Amino acid sequence: MPDTPSMTVAEAMGSIPEVIGERLGTREFARCFSDAGLQSDFHIQTGNYIPEVALDRFLHSAARRAGDDFLGASLAQSVSVQDYGVWGDYVLEAPTLLSAMSRASSIIHLHADNDTLKLRRRHKSVRFEYGFAERGGKGYRQIAMAALGPLTSIPRYFLGQSWKPQKIGIDLEARGAVRRLEREFDCAVRAHDSVVSIEIPNSELLTANPTTAPRRTTREDVFRACSGGPPKGIVPIMEQLLLQRGGIEDTGLESLAEAINVSKRTLQRRLDREGIDFRSLSLSVRMRRAQELLAGTDLGVSDIATHLEYSTPGHFARAFRQSFDVAPSQYRNNVANPD
């Protein structure tokens, strides 16, 4: 097992949480997030990355709670690269369908660090192939079916919503899944594949972009929006997961270990190799979050102390002063009036 988990941008979930939330209701929906080791109110935005195992467990939990082994097939109709912010904008602003798929392949590392997206040229067609880094997880069945949504959304943007693939390839064995996907996508489905794929005739590849608006998004825009891609190394990953939890006091090492699907002891060893003390790391992230709240919100110091789960505003103020040599109120005043 690699020392760091595969990470994917939170926007990979697209509209999936909304669809599942409507289907399951608030209580069961919250339990899906809990099963995945995610906060139910975390921000689904570009630059905010989650462990791929969390996405796997979220969909596994949702399918189990919905009693629907084909949930991913239904979700495929709701997921599109248009949900992916600047990443999707760059792809869908390409001049032709072929160049759009090429763009997606070239920036997949900004979306998910260990996933693959490839174009395979054949005699009369092209296969657009997606490989998920955490293939084999409990929720992979749902991920494989749902992944057909983003894959097909690109040619459908260029060719119309009624477009259908020449053939679908999927690395699932159950005959029921094949029949379900044949009905959903109205095309042949090839099972026992090593990746998820769609096949597109060569005659459709040079279809021009149907939108005449000026193209404004560059590859550099995607790089900036995605903060250069998923965090690299165990410490940046822990920092991001702590920030997603708001820097609160009760986020412990065990909770983060569960989020990346390793034991508490294993995570501790990996942090020890980096020379990082978890309590110091946690405090650093809490103070960073405190700075953000003081500079970017109207919350009072007492409210921020409560949000960060300090027992009293005095304890928060003391910790902040020890970190930055300035009181929280004075820090806010300095940010508001830098001169």
Question: Which of 200, 308, 197 lies closest to 246 in space, CA to CA?
Answer: 308
Q: State the average pLDDT over residues 124-128.
A: 96
Q: What is the pLDDT of residues 131-181, one digit of tens each?
A: 999 888 899 999 999 999 999 999 999 999 999 999 999 988 766 778 888
Q: What is the pLDDT of residues 201-223, one digit of tens each?
A: 999 999 999 998 888 899 999 99
Question: Does the pLDDT value for residue 37 go beyond 60?
Answer: yes
Does the pTM of the predicted model rise above 0.85?
no
Q: What is the pLDDT of residues 254-275, one digit of tens each?
A: 888 888 888 899 999 999 999 9
| Number of Cβ within a 10 Å radius of residue 96 | 15
Distance CA 27, CA 19 (A): 14
- Cα 206 off chain centre by: 30
Distance CA 49, CA 43 (A): 10
Distance CA 16, CA 61 (A): 13
Distance CA 188, CA 207 (A): 23
DSSP, collapsed to helix, strand or coil, labels residue 303 as: helix
Four-residue CA torsion sign, 38, 255, 137, 104? positive
Residue 305 bridge partners (DSSP):
none
Where are the domains positioned within the chain? 7-225, 234-336
**CATH architecture of structural domain 7-225:** Alpha-Beta Complex (3.90)
Question: Which of 262, 229, 207, 249 lies closest to 95 in space, CA to CA?
Answer: 207
Residues 6+ apart with CB under 8 A from 9: 46, 47, 48, 49, 50, 84, 87, 110, 111, 112, 226, 230
Q: Are the CB atoms for 111 and 87 separated by under 8 Å?
A: yes
Distance CA 59, CA 139 (A): 6
Q: What is the pLDDT of residues 68-117, one digit of tens each?
A: 999 999 999 888 999 888 999 999 999 999 999 999 999 999 989 899 99
Share of the chain above pLDDT 90, in %: 56
E strands, 60-148, where? 116-121, 125-131
Q: Please state at what angle helix 278-296 crosses helix 313-324, rounded to 10 degrees.
A: 100
Structure confidence at residue 77 (pLDDT) = 86
Distance CA 159, CA 207 (A): 7
Q: Are the CB atoms for 41 and 19 separated by under 8 Å?
A: no
234-336, CATH topology level:
Arc Repressor Mutant, subunit A (1.10.10)
Q: Are the CB atoms for 49 and 228 separated by under 8 Å?
A: no
| Number of Cβ within a 10 Å radius of residue 304 | 22
Question: Mind giving me the DSSP string for 242-268?
Answer: HHHTTT-TT--HHHHHHHTTS-HHHHH
Structure confidence at residue 91 (pLDDT) = 97
Q: What is the mean pLDDT of the chain?
A: 89
Residue 155 tokens read as 């040619």
Q: Which helix (H) or strand (E) holds 24?
A: helix 16-24
Asked if 7-225 and 234-336 have one fold, the answer is no
Structure confidence at residue 1 (pLDDT) = 45
Residue 65 tokens read as 């709670």
Distance CA 116, CA 132 (A): 7
